Amino acid sequence: MEDKKQQKPTSIKKHIRFVFILVFLLFTLNKLYIRSLVLESNLPHFMHVLVLSFPNTAEAIMGTLVLTGILLTLQHTFPEPFRKWKLTRIYLIAVVFSALYVITQEFKLHNLGGNNVYDPNDVVASIIGLGFIYWLLMKYGFANYKT
């Protein structure tokens, strides 16, 4: 049987689609409704931190998944150098590039994401999102392949 890195993916796995859609919906609900409800209430402080920092977690997860898809497309479109890359390398590169984007944004090294205020909780939220999605990719993979 041909190695997965040489096969063309047939579809994105269900768990990846589920996570992406769930995180996107939670991000949207948080931005439009949940954040204002929590901030205007007398809920515990950790709930305020959660709704204010969740966009960083979502950005890390969705960004990594998009980059993984782009890298897998490159791998199967261009013979060199991408075709030789193992899936674990692709997942790691996607996480590293996502980390560079979201964390440097927090430290105001760029302003590509809009007006940003430094908050250490946002950095922690980004790292949690990056760690979660890396674990998910390594454990369950990104795409289905022909068998």
For the chain, give every domain's residue range. Answer: 15-142
In angstroms, rounded to a whole number, what is the distance separating the alpha carbons of residues 57 and 121? Answer: 10
Contact between 137 and 98 under an 8 Å Cβ cutoff? The reply is: no
Q: How does pLDDT run across 40-99, given as a tens digit for each residue?
A: 998 999 999 999 999 999 999 999 999 999 999 888 887 677 778 889 999 999 999 999
In angstroms, rounded to a whole number, what is the distance separating the alpha carbons of residues 142 and 136? Answer: 9
The answer to whether the pTM exceeds 0.75 is yes
